[in-house]
Amino acid sequence: MSGKRFKGKLCVYCVTRPSITGDHVFAREFFTDESRSNLPQVPTCDSCNNEKSKLEHYLTAVLPFGGRHPDAYANLTEMVPGRLAKNLRLARELSATRSRTWYLEQGMYRETMTIPLDSDKCHLLFELIGRGLAWYHWQVYLQPGQTSRAMFLSKSGTAWFDAIFTMDAAARVHGDLGKGTVTYVGVQAVDRRDLTLWRINFYGGIAVAGDPAAPAEVATEIAVVTGPTTLVNSLAERSQSSQTPRSI
Ligand SMILES: [Zn+2]
């Protein structure tokens, strides 16, 4: 179904090999069957497509646990059991470590289920998603010396990003996929077209608890920054939001 239009371009993820197919920036498996039409696609090579698929197999089984959107529930009850049946090791891991906890949201404590979240896999996938979105909307290929970096937004990080998003931009974009299953906003810097910032919301906001010693701090939004490596790293540090998520 990917078609010829994605063949022979440069892969948006490695920016080295020619593409052989189209990759869904947000894997179709994050959405219910009814919500899978018109998802953004980008050119990808075989190798990057396979690597991204591995990350997606894991995260499409895990992320719906943290979601609040009705499709997260549909995804959990209809699709996640099938995925876990195919991945017995992950299923055992999740059932052994699942527990309930309380977290603070908008001044109220809510009870939620927590399961462990592999933050490396999560960051890697969202860094690829950032590369995909930058190309899909603005045809940006990240060159050597440029990078993509993902982070969960804590309260301080959210305030910092709120300020950034009000600044002048060359372009702004808003995406709503699967009636709110995934929403995102992006801005592209005026003076550096490779500098793009994204805020991505899955399933109405995935509750990601940070340090178990401070369970009240919950991130619900993921940010991705693309651009020159040194600038991206300093932006990420200044946002003070690169906490290590331990569970969702
Ligand atoms: Zn590639």
Domain range for 215: 119-238
Per-residue model confidence (pLDDT) at position 248:
37
Same domain, 32 and 142: no
Same domain, 48 and 14: yes
Per-residue model confidence (pLDDT) at position 206:
72
194 with 187: CB under 8 angstroms? no
Count the domains in the chain. 2
Cα–Cα distance for residue pair 246/84, rounded to 1 Å: 20
Q: Which pLDDT band holds residue 246 (cuts at 50, 70, 90)?
A: very low
Same domain, 155 and 231: yes
pLDDT at 2 over 70: no
Same domain, 137 and 180: yes
Residue 175 lies in a domain: yes
pTM of the predicted structure, to 2 decimals: 0.84
Residue 165 lies in a domain: yes
pLDDT at 24 over 70: yes
Residue whose tokens read 């932006």: 235
Residue 107 lies in a domain: no
**C-alpha 115 to ligand 1 mean position (Å):** 31
Same domain, 94 and 134: no
Single residue among 53, 68, 98 that ends a domain in this structure:
98
Residue 104 lies in a domain: no
Same domain, 152 and 231: yes
**C-alpha 108 to ligand 1 mean position (Å):** 44
Same domain, 86 and 130: no
**How does pLDDT run across 196-229, given as a tens digit for each residue?**
999 998 887 776 665 454 455 566 788 999 999 9
Same domain, 86 and 20: yes
**C-alpha 100 to ligand 1 mean position (Å):** 40
Residue 69 lies in a domain: yes
Q: Which residues surround ligand 1, an ion (CB under 5 A)?
A: 11, 13-14, 17, 45, 48
Query: Which one-letter amino acid corresponds to residue 135?
Result: W
Cα–Cα distance for residue pair 155/148, rounded to 1 Å: 22
Q: Quick one: DSSP state of residue 76? A: I
Average pLDDT, the chain: 82
Same domain, 125 and 177: yes
Higher pLDDT, 86 or 240: 86
Residue whose tokens read 């404590």: 109
Same domain, 49 and 131: no
Residue 177 lies in a domain: yes
pLDDT at 56 over 90: yes
